[in-house]
Amino acid sequence: MNIVVPIKLVPDLTEELEINDDGTDLERDFLSYRINEFCDHAIEEALQLKEAHGGTVTVLALERDETDKALYTALAKGADRAIKITGVDEAAPTQAAAKVFCQALDGIDYDLVLTGVQAADDRDGQLGAWMSSMLDIPHISVVSSIEATSGGGSDKLLVRKEYAGGVMASFEVSGKGVLGVQAARQMPRYAPVSRVRQIMKEAELEEIEADDVDVSTGTTVRRMFTPEKGEGAEMLDGSAEEIADRIVAIIKEKKG
């Protein structure tokens, strides 16, 4: 089974996010990027499928800060190919990225595309869904289990999709598909820094220049904003002991 995994670098959510002067996007100059956590799950699941059934794993990413590191890390974990796509604007909408990835797929022999289930930084739905519609193959999102049903050369997959309340649906997929991975069968593996360094010396990333894609989303951001400070929680200050005293008092009052 040959699997393609498009991965995304997203702003680090543990840092403070600022809005630009226009008030229509993030101030991107000082953002630090890291791999979207669900992409790590997609890579892990792809590697698990390859280890069980053979085939290859190809990881794709648009060029951003940190793209090289993310791609080398994927190689260090066991991916066979890592391709960096240049020439796509950071603020490009998901559907533009989807078009670019579909173009890249043209030269790749693939059976399955695994994406992360979602990324927190865009407003126009899932890349996997856009790709599937453009490729005219099915898409299933919120997937937390993938099994190949009849051995290595099989093109049948048993896929579990999560609904609310812990309920899951299972589907059989024959032929190509795009799956949005919520959780891999085990937590994503870790690539030791020494191994990543070694790969950086031994391997080179493949590079593709994106064709121009002209995409109009039909929507315009007129305002981006962070929630008003001070509207939410009453913040408790002081030493750990003082705060503990306050919390105990608040809870006692509530319990009555």
Ligand X SMILES: Nc1ncnc2c1ncn2[C@@H]1O[C@H](COP(=O)(O)O)[C@@H](O)[C@H]1O
Return the residues of window 47-106 that contact ligand FAD according to CB under 6 A. Answer: none
Q: Which residue is nearest to ligand X (CB)?
A: 116
> CA–CA separation, 69 vs 196, rounded Å?
8
Work out the end-to-end distance of the chain between its first and last CA atoms, rounded to an integer number of angstroms: 61
Out of 26, 52, 102, 191, name the contact with other proteins by CB under 8 A: 26
Stretch that binds other proteins, among 60-68, 72-80, 99-107, 222-230 (CB under 8 A): 222-230
Of 43-51, 113-121, 157-165, 226-234, the window that binds ligand X (rule: CB under 6 A) is 113-121
Site for ligand X in 28-67 (CB under 6 A): 36, 38-39, 42, 61-62
48 counts as binding other proteins under rule CB under 8 A: no
Q: Judged by CB under 6 A, does residue 155 bind ligand X?
A: no
Q: Which stretch binds ligand X (CB under 6 A): 11-19, 50-58, 118-126, 227-235?
A: 118-126
For residue 210, which of 79, 32, 53, 90 has the smallest C-alpha distance? 90
CA distance 185 to 144: 7
Our finding on whether 188 is near ligand X (CB under 6 A) is: no
Choose the stretch contacting other proteins; rule: CB under 8 A; options: 53-61, 65-73, 167-175, 206-214: 167-175
Q: Between residues 58 and 118, which has the closer beta carbon with respect to other proteins? A: 118
Nearest to 43 by CA among 146, 114, 120: 114
Of 157-186, which residues contact ligand FAD (CB under 6 A)? 182
Rounded to whole angstroms, the maximal C-alpha distance in the chain is 68
Q: Strand 57-62 and strand 177-181: pairing?
A: unpaired
DSSP string, 103-129: HHHTTS--SEEEEES--TT-SS--HHH
Burial of residue 93 (CB within 10 Å: 0-12, 13-18, 19+) is buried
- x/- map, 121-140, other proteins, by CB under 8 A: xxxxxx--xx-xxx--xxxx
Neighbouring-strand partners of residue 79: none
Shortest Cβ 31–other proteins spacing (Å): 11
Total residues interacting with ligand X, rule: CB under 6 A = 19
Q: Where in 114-143 is the site for ligand FAD (CB under 6 A)? A: 117-118, 142
196 CB burial (10 A radius; 0-12, 13-18, 19+): middle
